[in-house]
Amino acid sequence: MKKRILLIALALMLTLSVFGCAKTDTTAPEATAEVATEVMATEVPTEAPAITAEPNQEDGLGITILFEQDDSLINNYSLLAVNEAAPFVDADGKAVADVAINTVGAKALIDWMLGDEAATLIANYGVEQYGEALFYIKEDKPVSTAEIPQEIDETKTIRLSTTTSVNDSGLLAYLLPTFESEYGYTVEVASAGTGKAIAAAQMGNADLILVHSKSQEEAYVTAGFSKILDGYTSERLTFMYNFFVLIGPKDDPAKCAEATDVKDAFARIAEGKFPFVSRGDLSGTHTKEVSLWPESLAITTDAASVEAYSEWYAYSNAGMGVCLTMANEMNAYILSDKATFLAFRANGGTVG
């Protein structure tokens, strides 16, 4: 009986001490946040705003944006229709015959994407959730005022091969339902790095592509895989952009945030041999990344070019979401498009 009384007394003492500790925490100051400027539904900004917000230190991630808004980090996106008369090949490079391309459907989607309705949606995407737009409309983009036909059985399904950034960021899931509900089409989206997205089209597995690597797009056009649609003057229809950003550990051991430009930041990473995660998948992001390293390292998209740096350079051959997860787990540096990283951060370290 005495033991039971003693235990009850101890429990009461512990309960009182817990409440006492909790009470002292209520005096902690509350964090404040800037209120994002409201963007009206009809406003279509074409220039990215200056970034003034400090990195969020309480988002649960170990990585944050360290360097952005460098001219070398502009990330342009283009639409290209697939040429039905292209020299299609399979994965082994052998000619493929009897490929059916939905040119009517591809043009309908392209015309819509280059029209006013899509421009307004794109310009406002992300403002409510992230406090800033994730994509910006180019001032000199092609503009379409063409009448968009309703689907018919032969044109209903449109195959879009695209880069991961417009998919992982949520942009396509935001845009396409409007197009589909208004015109009756069904858009089948296949996303991968730009190199793989283009390869899918070269095999006849897409009606149009949405990618972000100028050199690869130009090679695709030169090889005869794209065509100029009625009403346009070029195969490559570059219409929006965002920015690549250099992301890294919040303690920034390479001091990239103090770099004079993005190439200086990459040089600091290489000099200190700090962990870096590369897409390694011939994507637009991968292509941009290899252009930023010091020329003396001779880093290219070829995996063999980085074998000597394997102690700090991870050649992943994976999509943006997987690579961001790797960088967060490894406390490593990484190049990403900003839209995907903001979605990754908002979702607590996941994409999709």
Average pLDDT, the chain: 86
Q: Where are the alpha helices (DSSP H) in the chain?
A: 2-24, 103-113, 116-124, 127-130, 164-168, 171-183, 194-202, 214-222, 262-272, 284-290, 320-330, 338-346
Q: How far is 193 from 199, CA to CA, in rounded Å?
A: 10
Q: What is the pLDDT of residue 89?
A: 96
**Locus of tokens 């050199």:** 215
The answer on pLDDT for 14 being more than 80 is: no
Q: How far is 159 from 243, CA to CA, in rounded Å?
A: 26
Q: What are phi and psi of 238, to 5 degrees?
A: -85, 120
Residues 6 or more apart from 134 whose CB is under 8 A from it? 125, 126, 169, 171, 242, 338, 339, 342, 343
pLDDT over 90 percentage in the chain: 77
Structure tokens at 271: 């000099």
Q: What is the pLDDT of residue 60?
A: 87
Per residue in 297-308, pLDDT (tens digit) is 999 999 999 999
* pTM across the whole model: 0.80
Instruction: Tell which CATH classification among 3.40.190, 3.30.70, 3.90.660, 3.30.300 matches the domain 76-241.
Output: 3.40.190
Instruction: Check if 63-74+243-346 and 76-241 are the same fold.
Output: yes
Q: Which of 221, 189, 203 is nearest to 93 (CA)?
A: 203
Per residue in 202-245, pLDDT (tens digit) is 999 999 999 999 999 999 999 999 999 999 999 999 999 999 99
The answer on pLDDT for 53 being more than 50 is: no
CATH superfamily for domain 63-74+243-346: Periplasmic binding protein-like II (3.40.190.10)
DSSP string of 281-293, one letter each residue: SS-HHHHHHHTTS
Q: How far is 237 from 181, CA to CA, in rounded Å?
A: 24
Residue 143: in which H helix or E strand, if any? Answer: none
Per residue in 241-272, pLDDT (tens digit) is 999 999 999 999 999 999 999 999 999 999 99
In this structure, the strands spanning 74-81 and 208-211 are: antiparallel
- Residue ranges of the domains in the chain? 63-74+243-346, 76-241
Residue 130 pLDDT level (bands cut at 50, 70, 90): confident
Q: What is the pLDDT of residue 352?
A: 62
The Cβ-side half-sphere exposure at 19, using a 13 Å CA radius, reads 5
